[in-house]
Homo-oligomer: A and B are copies of this chain.
Amino acid sequence: MGSPHHVVIVGGGFGGLFTARALKRAPVQVTLIDRRNFHLFQPLLYQVATGGLSPANIAAPLRVLLKYQTNTEVRLGDVMDIDAADHQVMLAGGGKISYDTLIVAAGSAPHYFGHEEWQEAAPPLKSIANAEEIRRRVLLAFEAAELATDPDTRRDCLTFVVAGGGTSGVELAGCLSELAHHTLKRDFRHFDPGSARIILVEGGERMLPSYPPKLSAKAAAALTRLGVEIRIGAKVIGVDADAVTIRGEDQTEHIGTRTIMWAAGVQGSPLGRLLAEKTGAEVDKDGRIIVQSDMTVSGHPELFVIGDLAHFALESGKALPGVAAVAMSEASYVAKLINRRLRGRSLPPFHYRDRGSMSVIGRNAAVADLGWVRAWGFPAWLLWVFVHLLSLAQFQSRLLVLAQWTWSYITRNQSALLISERNAHSLPSEISMEGRPRAAARGENTKRSSAVKEKVHS
């Protein structure tokens, strides 16, 4: 007997983690590689960005999740290259891992459509670090408003722009609005946080374009009631540190703001481009690998791509959306196919059974399209809370998140309104009178403290 069939999985998101789990009883050895040591529950990342949850509430260590799965090994590492001919994965630092079957579930990256220079001023919401940075900027903007003496400066500090009217943009805008209008209500002495403007910019014809028009309209109405200004059919054409420029159908608007958030698009992870180059696979315009009907890469039956990095074409010509439910469904299919193959059998092509989608807008408001029924308002919101709680990977997280949600619901307080220090070794960064985070805060502080020390020691 040789060594068991080795399945290597790149990425510990919904696709990768659920493939590994589904292979629990398969006669294979599994290696799951991720750059991070945790699985991130991305659908709730906006709640970290707005101070409702702590990072650890929505991130579960992969080793903990796979602790008792003895055929599986977790490896912290960064995949630098894939040798599809020799069946090897190359890691940063020089490690090589051979595979019999490879599953690439490397996910997506923010998409700035050729304007990567916007990222500094308009951070995306893809990682915990992003979420903490957004939380930091949002809270610092309120702090700067408190210190501002000039009304224009204060107005800019209190203007928040979210680019992108899909689920994550809508959720972020709704939550920001609650933060300004309720949570922070009594926190400041020199202005009313309720005067903050939250502007949601969507380039298409309507918000939440993946939903039926009626639900989009319901969502827009609910968001407007929460105090969010919605700009439909408006494209971001310029991003600066202190303003964003949007072009609507008949006019161009220049909005002074210190806080811009990017939820306007994602593309496949850079690993997809690399893989395409190595295997000749086709990529779509968003950098996703176009996969076969069994989720493999053309010409490579041992190489699967799933999740946000995969473009699985539907009969309609559209691709399956990059959401957790699709990734999990693909994961389950691929694990089953691997199992079948090992027993010399096959499986019909992958078919995604759409169980619906839902987006939350704010307290008591959400939209849900389950195919057979559409819901909005409080019922949809209850359903959303229920589904999201049950989907958290760790039982403990469910309890902690439930506790924090209950608390926030009753008191309208958020539990994690911390301005993170930017660098582990620096003193906390500061705000200046102009209200912008000081880029050189670290250097200045260090200089100051050593100056003080020198004076005393000399």
A269-312 contacts to B (CB < 8 Å): 270-271, 273-274, 276-277, 283, 287
Taking a contact as CB atoms closer than 8 A, the residue among B63, B276, B400 that contacts A187 in the complex is: B63
A186 on the interface (CB 8 Å rule)? yes
Note all chain B residues with C-beta closer than 8 A to A455.
Answer: 273-274, 277
Task: Let me know if A129 and B396 touch, CB within 8 A.
Answer: no
Note all chain B residues with C-beta closer than 8 A to A242.
Answer: none
Question: Within the assembled complex, what's the spacing in Å between the Cα atoms of A455 and B81?
Answer: 13
- Total identical chains: 2
Question: Within the assembled complex, what's the spacing in Å between the Cα atoms of A355 and B78?
Answer: 52
Q: What mask results when residues 413 to 443 of chain A are scored 1 for a CB within 8 Å of chain B, else 0?
A: 1011111111111111011111000100000
- For A72, give the chain B residue with the smallest CB separation: B189
Question: Within the assembled complex, what's the spacing in Å between the Cα atoms of A59 and B433?
Answer: 25
Given A37-B419, A38-B418, A430-B92, the answer on whether A424 and B270 have CB atoms closer than 8 Å is no
Closest chain B CB from A153 CB (angstroms) = 13
Taking a contact as CB atoms closer than 8 A, the residue among B67, B80, B452 that contacts A186 in the complex is: B67
Note all chain B residues with C-beta closer than 8 A to A415.
Answer: 56, 396-397, 400
Given A36-B419, A56-B416, A143-B37, the answer on whether A430 and B77 have CB atoms closer than 8 Å is yes
A120 on the interface (CB 8 Å rule)? yes
Closest chain B CB from A154 CB (angstroms) = 15
Task: Let me know if A449 and B93 touch, CB within 8 A.
Answer: no
Question: Within the assembled complex, what's the spacing in Å between the Cα atoms of A55 and B438?
Answer: 24
Given A55-B54, A139-B37, A400-B400, the answer on whether A93 and B430 have CB atoms closer than 8 Å is yes
A132 on the interface (CB 8 Å rule)? yes
Question: Within the assembled complex, what's the spacing in Å between the Cα atoms of A443 and B161?
Answer: 29
Contact-residue size bin, chain A (C-beta under 8 Å from the other chain) = 35 or more
Note all chain B residues with C-beta closer than 8 A to A245.
Answer: none
Note all chain B residues with C-beta closer than 8 A to A407.
Answer: 396, 399
Task: Let me know if A94 and B433 touch, CB within 8 A.
Answer: yes
Beyond the given pairs A92-B438, A270-B448, A400-B403, 10 more chain A to chain B contacts, judged by CB atoms under 8 angstroms and listed by A's residue number, are A36-B428, A54-B54, A64-B187, A67-B187, A92-B432, A127-B428, A128-B420, A271-B452, A276-B456, A422-B423
Q: B-contacting residues of A (Cβ < 8 Å)?
A: 35-38, 54-57, 59, 61, 63-64, 67-68, 73, 75-78, 80, 92-95, 109, 119-120, 123, 127-130, 132-133, 136, 139-140, 143, 146-147, 184, 186-189, 270-271, 273-274, 276-277, 283, 287, 396-397, 399-400, 403-404, 407, 411, 413, 415-428, 430-434, 438, 444-445, 448-449, 452-453, 455-456
| Interchain Cβ contacts under 8 Å between A and B, 29 examples | A35-B427, A35-B430, A36-B419, A37-B143, A54-B55, A55-B416, A67-B186, A75-B147, A76-B419, A77-B147, A92-B438, A92-B444, A93-B431, A94-B433, A109-B449, A127-B421, A128-B421, A129-B420, A129-B423, A132-B424, A270-B452, A270-B453, A274-B455, A276-B456, A283-B456, A287-B456, A396-B404, A400-B415, A420-B424
